[in-house]
Amino acid sequence: MDLFTLTALLGDGLAVGSIYALTALGLTLVYGLLRVLHVAHAGVYAVGAYAGWWAFQKTGSFGLALGTGAVAGALLGLFLEAWFYRPLLSRPPHVALIGSIGLFLAVGDLLRILFGPYQQSLPALAPAPVVGMLTAPQLVVVGATAVLLLGVYFVVEQTRLGLGWRAMAQDALTAAALGVDLPLMSRLAFLAASLLAGLAGVLVGAYYNQVYPTMGAVLAYKGLAIVVLGGLGNLWGTVAAALLLGLLESLAVAYLGHRFPPEGVAFVALILVLLFRPQGLFSRARR
Amino acid sequence: MYVVTILELLLIYALLTLSLNLVVGLAGQVNLGHAAFFGIGAYAGGTLLKAGAPFPVALAAGAAAATALGLVLGAVSLRLRGDYLAIATIGFNFAVVAALLYTPYFGGAYGLSGIPRGLAPSTYLLALLATFGLAVFIHERVRNSESGYAFVALRDSEVAAEALGLNVNRFKLVAFALSTALAGVAGVFYAAYIGTLRPEDFGFPLSVTLMAMLVVGGMGGLWGPILGAFLLGGFAQAFAFVHNYQAVLYGLLLALVMRYRPQGILGRVS
């Protein structure tokens, strides 16, 4: 394989991994704080993509599309937090998990009923090579992700909000006793997670130039695999696992071809990691 | 006859929800990959029926294949709890579907077709009814026996159950073995019923549908799982026109029941 093809593959892998990172980061943040698996997060991502597509149809501006996707995602996320997840916190965790899968199925199917089962195109980014084999969409996705991740890093590590999140993730009761407003922390976590998911939806729609109702399905289940590989609740482990998976998939398809069953192998790997390294690939100790 | 055909399908669903209840409702181990065991039973039984094996042999093979795989998942459940186990069972379902899809022997994406019934229509119905009766009997024996109490103790608090001297691991394995054997048997009946099997028929969406039937009916008891299977299965059959909206209806129903009545229609508040 020549260097040229390799850079193209790495570019694609990095872009796909960035999308995984943006969505999985929200999943792991929510899990860290509330201990619920938010499968409907992938529905938020699909709604964000559709909102962005709609705004782009109307205005032709990619910036407005990103903004609309982020706002739509955030509103849906805040609604789900207030209506669904918070009231279920006192129940056994499988209650929220099962209901969340139901919500995800309903959102995807609702998009199909409203906008039709076919793909809509979102031609915001011209796929012209810019640097070597790297294309403009790849650079935009990777660049936007890098900026957003830096933003998240700053919020989590440097602000009072981030301190509150970390305190709640470590020990919610003690944090509450010390004056951390737990409901507010949970609302803001859903807000941040859903903003990122909405943006990721628009970015991925523009990257592949397609938006379709079941686009969340891959992320809904692969997202679970990624957060487990990264160590449930471990933010930076999740980012690393997402980028790693994006790169590996890109290389695997190139070297092994499409006959290779990526989902099957990804999930077998997931089960093995669960059995032998349940704390994730990048965490030192069990939480 | 149309009504009998529907009844047979609903009985197969009820076998599945009863078997799922053994693991989820009684032993408290979340299983979001039950369709995989149904599929393994269907493929094993279907292959044998197609080769001309008698129905009881196919039934035994389907049960054995599903149980073998069920013990693997049972072993996994010994090491994982709660959310981790739930994710592993989802992964298990995807892995089994991928394995069926990539095994040329099972016809790959085209699946397995031309499976004979293996029994005369009336004998088939009787056999299915008898199996259903047997499943209810096993379910009740488990629920009302010492091991049934052990199951419930396991569900309510695994740590307390272990402290009381229960062999938690053994009960988990028994629950998984019984549950998956029944799912395999249901699979063989389904293969003979439908005649054509494709890998995606046994994917994660079916596992979610089965879970929806169980939680809507109410888990833990006897009538909840049966009611759920008949209600949701019958609803889809009676209102064929809602087929286009089935996913959104199932999804919303699942979310609404979990939100407002997580114990289901017939379930009790614990």
Alpha-carbon dihedral sign for residues A242, A243, A245, A249 = positive
List the single best residue of B77, B80, B84, B90 to mutate versus A (max A Cβ within 10 A): B90
List the beta bridge partners of residue A131.
A134
Written as six digits, the tokens of A1 are: 């394989």
B258 closest CA partner among A83, A244, A200:
A83
To the question of pTM greater than 0.90 for the whole model, the response is no
Average pLDDT, integer, range A123-133: 75
pLDDT at A147 over 50: yes
How many C-beta neighbours within 10 Å does residue A172 have? Answer: 18
Q: Is B169 helix (H, G, I), strand (E, B) or coil?
A: helix
**Alpha-carbon gap, residue B136 to B44, rounded angstroms:** 24
Largest CA distance in chain B: 55
pLDDT at A203 over 90: yes
One-letter amino acid identity for B59?
L
Measured between CA atoms, the residue of chain B closest to residue A88 is: B259
Average pLDDT, integer, range A225-234: 85
**Alpha-carbon gap, residue A26 to A196, rounded angstroms:** 7
**Cβ B254–A88 below 8 Å, yes or no?**
no
According to the model, what pLDDT value does residue B56 have? 96
**Alpha-carbon gap, residue A254 to B15, rounded angstroms:** 44
Distances in Å between the Cα of B8 and the Cα atoms of B122, B129, B213 are 11, 9, 17
For the stretch A26-81, pLDDT in tens is 999 999 999 889 999 999 999 999 999 999 999 999 999 999 999 999 999 999 99
**Alpha-carbon gap, residue B218 to B53, rounded angstroms:** 38
According to the model, what pLDDT value does residue B193 have? 95
Angle at B149 between CA B145 and CA B155, to 5 degrees: 140
Average pLDDT, integer, range A267-279: 77
Measured between CA atoms, the residue of chain B closest to residue A91 is: B262
Distances in Å between the Cα of B82 and the Cα atoms of A105, B79, B149, B183, B211 are 22, 11, 20, 22, 16
A17 closest CA partner among A246, A251, A263, A250:
A246
Mark out the alpha helices in A83-171 (DSSP H runs). 93-115, 136-158, 160-170
A23 closest CA partner among A47, A41, A46:
A41
Written as six digits, the tokens of B56 are: 């009881």
According to the model, what pLDDT value does residue A124 have? 84
> Would an 8 Å CB–CB cutoff place B78 in contact with chain A?
no
The least confident of A58-67, A94-103, A222-231 is: A222-231
Alpha-carbon dihedral sign for residues B85, B91, B96, B97 = positive
A203 closest CA partner among A149, A279, A167:
A149
> Would an 8 Å CB–CB cutoff place A167 in contact with chain B?
no
The number of CA neighbours under 13 Å toward the Cβ of A128 is 3
Q: Considering chain A, what percentage of its residues have pLDDT values greater than 70?
A: 93
How many C-beta neighbours within 10 Å does residue A115 have? Answer: 15
Instruction: Give the list of residues 6+ apart from residue B235 with CB closer than 8 angstroms, or none.
Output: B242
Measured between CA atoms, the residue of chain A closest to residue B31 is: A94
pLDDT at A170 over 50: yes
> Would an 8 Å CB–CB cutoff place A97 in contact with chain B?
yes
Pick from A83, A263, A270: which is nearest to B98 by CB?
A263
**Cβ B94–A221 below 8 Å, yes or no?**
yes
Q: Is A134 helix (H, G, I), strand (E, B) or coil?
A: strand
**Cβ A105–B80 below 8 Å, yes or no?**
no
**Alpha-carbon gap, residue B154 to B151, rounded angstroms:** 5
According to the model, what pLDDT value does residue B244 have? 77
Between A131 and A216, whose confidence is greater? A216
User: How high is the ipTM of this complex?
Assistant: 0.87
| Domains of chain A, first to last | 3-276 (1.10.3470)
- SS3 of A193-261: the string is HHHHHHHHHHHHHHHHCCECCCHHHHHHHHHHHHHHHHCCCCHHHHHHHHHHHHHHHHHHHHHHCCCCC
B58 closest CA partner among B47, B71, B72:
B47
Between A9 and A238, whose confidence is greater? A238
What is the crossing angle of helices B146-156 and B121-144, to 10°? 70
According to the model, what pLDDT value does residue B146 have? 66
The list of chain B residues with pLDDT below 50 reads: none
Distances in Å between the Cα of A91 and the Cα atoms of A213, A250, B31, B51 are 31, 40, 18, 49
According to the model, what pLDDT value does residue A58 have? 95
According to the model, what pLDDT value does residue B31 have? 93
> Would an 8 Å CB–CB cutoff place B204 in contact with chain A?
yes
Pick from B99, B248, B262: which is nearest to A264 by CB?
B99
Which residues of chain A does B204 touch, with a Cβ-Cβ cutoff of 8 Å? 221
Which residues of chain B does A35 touch, with a Cβ-Cβ cutoff of 8 Å? 83
pLDDT at A287 over 50: no
**Alpha-carbon gap, residue B206 to B183, rounded angstroms:** 13
Between A7 and A121, whose confidence is greater? A121
Torsions phi, psi of A131, nearest 5?
Answer: -115, 110
According to the model, what pLDDT value does residue A286 have? 44
Mean per-residue pLDDT over chain B, rounded: 89
B186 closest CA partner among B63, B67, B70:
B63
How many C-beta neighbours within 10 Å does residue A109 have? Answer: 23
According to the model, what pLDDT value does residue A265 have? 65
According to the model, what pLDDT value does residue B254 have? 87
Written as six digits, the tokens of B69 are: 């795989």
